[in-house]
Amino acid sequence: MSGRAVWLGAGVAGALAAGLGGLTWWWWPEPPPTVPDPFVTLRAESAPRPDAPAGARNLVLVVGCTVRADQTTPYGGPPTTTPTLMALAQRGARLEDLVTAAPWTRPASTAILTGHHAITVGMADSSPVQDELRLSDDVTTLAEHLRDHGWHTVGSTTNPNLNELYGFRQGFDTWRQLARLWRQDGTKQPGDDAVRDALALLDADGAGRDRPFFLFLVLIDAHAPHDATPKELLEQADGGVPGQVVAYRATLRRFDDAVGALVEGLEQRGFDASDTVIAVANDHGDGLGWPREAGRSHGRYLSAPAVGGVLVMTGPGIPAGEVVPGLASQVDVAPTLASLVGAPGMPTEGTDLSTAVLGGGATGEERVFADTWFQDVDRAAVYTAQLACQHDFGDPEAPHFPTACFDRATDAGHARPLPMGDALEELRRWRSERDGAPTLPADEDPEVLKQLRELGYVDPGPDPG
């Protein structure tokens, strides 16, 4: 057993062991090494703001990084993966057919927080190695919109893709982010730790005392590497799926447990469905090599495993068990949540779906779009209720990404191509209408670069197929 020798004086030694006098050796267990906190908390200067509208609610938005929709319980996954998410869906509402705006964190989070596609606001990067653009201060975020209408805003991210370096802090009174690698395992902060820290931020800020608050929390448990324990693997055991899917489900359960801890912590502080909208979303999914055509990761692909969306909401007026039918886009999240908490309308290219969420029927959208400029690719897709149609603008002959349509009901992994019809021209038109927004390069930060390299966001390898 490791330990350190401690000299104890005769009085102390005598008190601990009668009959031993003089100076006595005692062994004390070696304390665990101190791990410096790899996070930094940034606080904006206090600025005057109006009172929030009468009846304003708190908003808690949790984004799970790399949460594949069809592996979550509310969206058809096993009951063991996300029981908390299922319970929230049963107590509230979920969007039935949400498509994420992109298959990787930074552009998808741009859509979540601004209500705009990345290409619309200058966040589409064509760099062949790494994507290093910063969200312009001219773009209004959900945090800015709520802050400017009376909310106190708190954000915390465990994914360095959302660091201040890339512009995602704007609008937050308090912001917590990774300053260097998470030293305990080299890559990720556990979700339960992130929840504890987020609740501590709320407590320190006195959130909810004199004005409503907005808490934004990004959890990275489900992102690779999927280092599950034997016990976790046993809990998710399923002979019908590959081993990497079982391991993924185990880390997905960690994310879900963290969401449960957050809900419990909020309720202990008096925040519940009577005064707080809780929304849980994903930024994107993951191919997991299952099916093979979906790829082994996510950034380059636009099939359902990568861009299937999750959005579950509970709160005042949201009917229990509501499943909102119809297509929806990730750019709809910000205007919908702003409306649900009583804020004025937020100007975006997304659609406010709050009426549908509150029991008012279908979304009414006929088509939604996703695209990716991840590292060495330039691709886009249009989704309708029946079809997903995709095109590679950079390499139309890409071997693992055919320009084609696919039947969404029978071919989620995009294995059996169908004719494009008018979809190719529609994608070209959609792109041309949005392309050309000015871009703002981010500053270089070696520590952030290390974090991103650990997570696989830097240096493209061969297309994994």
Exposure of 432 in the CB half-sphere (CA atoms within 13 A): 6
Q: What is the mean pLDDT of residues 377-383?
A: 96
Q: How confident is the model at residue 445 (pLDDT cuts 50, 70, 90)?
A: low
Instruction: Report how far residue 93's alpha carbon sits from residue 279's, in angstroms, rounded to the nearest whole number.
Output: 9
H/E segment holding residue 246: helix 243-268
Q: How confident is the model at residue 3 (pLDDT cuts 50, 70, 90)?
A: very low
Q: Determine the 3-state secondary structure of 456 from DSSP.
A: coil
- Quote the pLDDT of residue 453: 65
Instruction: Report how far residue 13's alpha carbon sits from residue 102's, in angstroms, rounded to the nearest whole number.
Output: 65
Q: How confident is the model at residue 22 (pLDDT cuts 50, 70, 90)?
A: very low
- Quote the pLDDT of residue 127: 63
Q: How confident is the model over 323-341, as pLDDT tens digits?
A: 999 999 999 999 999 999 9
Percent of the chain with pLDDT over 90: 74
Q: How confident is the model at residue 47 (pLDDT cuts 50, 70, 90)?
A: confident
Question: Does the pLDDT value for residue 124 go beyond 60?
Answer: yes
Angle, CA 37 vertex, CA 268 and CA 67 arms, to 5°: 60
Question: Does the pLDDT value for residue 28 go beyond 60?
Answer: no
Instruction: Report how far residue 264's alpha carbon sits from residue 198's, in angstroms, rounded to the nearest whole number.
Output: 13
- The reported pTM is 0.87
H/E segment holding residue 325: strand 322-329
Instruction: Report how far residue 103's alpha carbon sits from residue 434's, in angstroms, rounded to the nearest whole number.
Output: 18
- Quote the pLDDT of residue 436: 67
- Distances, alpha carbon 48 to alpha carbons 57, 147, 150, 173, 378, in Å: 20, 10, 9, 12, 43
Exposure of 350 in the CB half-sphere (CA atoms within 13 A): 34
Question: Does the pLDDT value for residue 448 go beyond 90?
Answer: no
Question: Does the pLDDT value for residue 387 go beyond 80?
Answer: yes
Region label for 456, one of left (φ > 0), alpha (ψ between -120 and 50) or beta (otherwise) = left
Q: How confident is the model over 225-248, as pLDDT tens digits?
A: 999 999 999 999 999 999 999 999
- Quote the pLDDT of residue 376: 82
- Quote the pLDDT of residue 80: 98
Q: How confident is the model at residue 45 (pLDDT cuts 50, 70, 90)?
A: confident
Question: Does the pLDDT value for residue 443 go beyond 90?
Answer: no
Question: Does the pLDDT value for residue 372 go beyond 80?
Answer: yes
Average pLDDT taken over every residue of the chain: 88
Cβ 125 vs Cβ 187: under 8 Å: no
Question: Does the pLDDT value for residue 13 go beyond 50?
Answer: no
- Distances, alpha carbon 81 to alpha carbons 34, 128, 192, 262, 362, in Å: 33, 36, 16, 17, 28
Angle, CA 97 vertex, CA 101 and CA 68 arms, to 5°: 65
Where do the domains of the chain lie, and which CATH numbers do they carry? 1-31 (no CATH), 39-46+54-454 (3.40.720.10)
